[in-house]
């Protein structure tokens, strides 16, 4: 049974704080174990990768090259799909590509009033590592969401790693990799895969940035290799906030809440509503649906441990709560959902209206489903094309424009006590001669 909170109860503030502050990830300290794994990969390369893959995934290979998935195998997986499933995958890929193409930044250049030529250009990283989970479920949608933005950005080498217990990779995952134009696929996972991407081995070339969600070991590894490579974010358990009034079908809302609960026992599903009777109906609908789910145990534990229903007297009280929750996914199942969305600043992705469940965004809407979790939507964003690109600024002075701005630069350098900085500019002022 999910916890119930009443906005106007005397203990609401404390209960709400406890909800937000609850630790949903494992308390086990994986830092030391991950550091050891990374050190092994750095020191022993292929040998360590083979041993760790055998240990954790029961995949025994003679060489790291044996862990590669060939382009022909990926193409065969794509061609072997049921026609309807392939059409669905292609529709998703097309919509994701179209949305992300609109994110491509534009270079710019201009001359300012002093005559200085200024500009900015955007270039992709050379190589990106794409981590795709392969534990409790197969996620071809995550392949598309990671690989397609990298391809749109112009990343030349797109390297996917996916855990392959007993050597098996879901054919749908390989089909998605083929469709998304992945350059390399390696049957490796966990912290060892992250380390191999970050530092390289004798067989696997290092990358410049690593993206994609994973378990606690993957998250810890991404933290530890950051600086050697770039990372997108540290993904935590999935979460959803549904804001719904009594004009909704409680079964619809219950299904939306369970759509995230079934991901993981640590996932969190929260409902805010202004109708107590509707809250009761949704809670009853959740309990009725749970036994029908294939992942009933996972969803049930998530709902019982982390789920919550919050009642307010008026939806005017909702935006402040939603901004504090800063949910990964926010559904606004309300009239004038677009208007209400303007009152909310912090959310990874918003789903507006009664016919826009979060699940549509996981697959075929177009925007990325790799999103900030654990309240980090207050300061971070979902995965996009910009995550695979860098900004480079350009400055060009001629003798006149240099002379116009350099004296101020010299004054500031002297004020900071950086003589060589000042000299680097003043020596050029002197070279201009008495006539400027």
- Looking at the annotation, which residues are catalytic? 328-329
Residue 307 tokens read as 């789920």
Residue 223 tokens read as 């933290």
Q: How far apart are CA 190 and CA 161, in angstroms?
A: 9
Q: Is the dihedral of CA 203, 208, 212, 215 positive or negative?
A: positive
Q: How far apart are CA 285 and CA 281, in angstroms?
A: 6
Question: Under a CB-based contact definition with an 8 Å cutoff, are residues 38 and 191 in contact?
Answer: yes
The three-class DSSP label of residue 88 is helix
Which residues, other chains included, contact 51 with Cβ-Cβ below 8 Å and sequence gap of 6+? 40
Which residues, other chains included, contact 119 with Cβ-Cβ below 8 Å and sequence gap of 6+? 107, 108, 109, 110, 393, 394
Q: Report which secondary-structure segment, H or E, holds 352.
A: strand 349-352
Question: Under a CB-based contact definition with an 8 Å cutoff, are residues 357 and 315 in contact?
Answer: no
Q: How far apart are CA 303 and CA 288, in angstroms?
A: 13
Pairing of strands 117-124, 108-111: antiparallel
Q: Report which secondary-structure segment, H or E, holds 104.
A: none
Q: How far apart are CA 244 and CA 241, in angstroms?
A: 10
């Amino acid at each position: 049974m999910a916890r119930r909170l009443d906005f106007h109860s005397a203990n609401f503030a404390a209960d709400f704080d406890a909800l937000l502050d609850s630790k949903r990830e494992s308390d086990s300290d994986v830092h030391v174990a991950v550091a050891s794994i990374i050190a092994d990969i750095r020191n022993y390369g292929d040998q360590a990768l083979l041993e760790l893959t055998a240990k954790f995934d029961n995949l025994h290979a003679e060489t790291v090259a044996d862990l590669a998935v060939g382009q022909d195998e990926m193409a065969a997986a794509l061609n072997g799909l049921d026609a309807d499933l392939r059409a669905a995958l292609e529709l998703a890929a097309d919509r994701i590509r179209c949305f992300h193409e609109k994110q491509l930044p534009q270079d710019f250049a201009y001359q300012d009033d002093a005559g200085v030529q200024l500009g900015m250009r955007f270039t992709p990283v050379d190589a990106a590592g794409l981590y795709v989970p392969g534990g409790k479920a197969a996620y071809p949608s995550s392949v598309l969401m990671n690989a397609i933005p990298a391809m749109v950005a112009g990343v030349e080498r797109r390297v996917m790693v996916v855990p392959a217990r007993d050597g098996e990779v879901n054919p749908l995952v390989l089909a998605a990799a083929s469709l998304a134009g992945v350059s390399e696929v390696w049957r490796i996972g966990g912290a060892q895969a992250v380390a191999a991407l970050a530092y390289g081995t004798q067989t696997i070339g290092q990358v410049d940035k690593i993206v994609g969600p994973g378990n606690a070991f993957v998250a810890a590894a991404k933290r530890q290799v950051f600086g050697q490579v770039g990372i997108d974010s540290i993904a935590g358990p999935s979460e959803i906030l549904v804001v719904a009034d009594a004009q909704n079908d409680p079964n619809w809302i219950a299904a939306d809440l369970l759509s995230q609960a079934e991901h993981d026992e640590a996932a969190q599903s929260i409902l805010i509503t202004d109708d107590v009777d509707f809250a009761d109906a949704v809670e009853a609908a959740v309990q009725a649906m749970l036994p029908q789910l294939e992942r009933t145990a996972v969803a049930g534990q998530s709902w019982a441990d982390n789920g919550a229903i919050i009642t307010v007297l008026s939806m005017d009280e909702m935006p402040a709560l939603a901004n504090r929750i800063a949910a990964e996914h926010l559904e606004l199942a309300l009239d004038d959902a677009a208007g209400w969305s303007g009152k909310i600043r912090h959310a990874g992705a918003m789903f507006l209206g009664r016919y826009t469940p979060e699940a549509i965004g996981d697959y075929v809407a177009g925007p990325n489903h790799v999103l900030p979790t654990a309240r980090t939507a207050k300061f971070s964003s979902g995965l996009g094309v910009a995550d695979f690109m860098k900004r480079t600024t350009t400055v060009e002075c001629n003798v006149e424009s240099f002379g116009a701005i350099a004296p101020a630069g010299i004054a500031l350098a002297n004020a900071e006590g950086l003589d060589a900085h000042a000299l680097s500019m003043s020596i050029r002022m002197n070279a201009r001669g008495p006539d400027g």
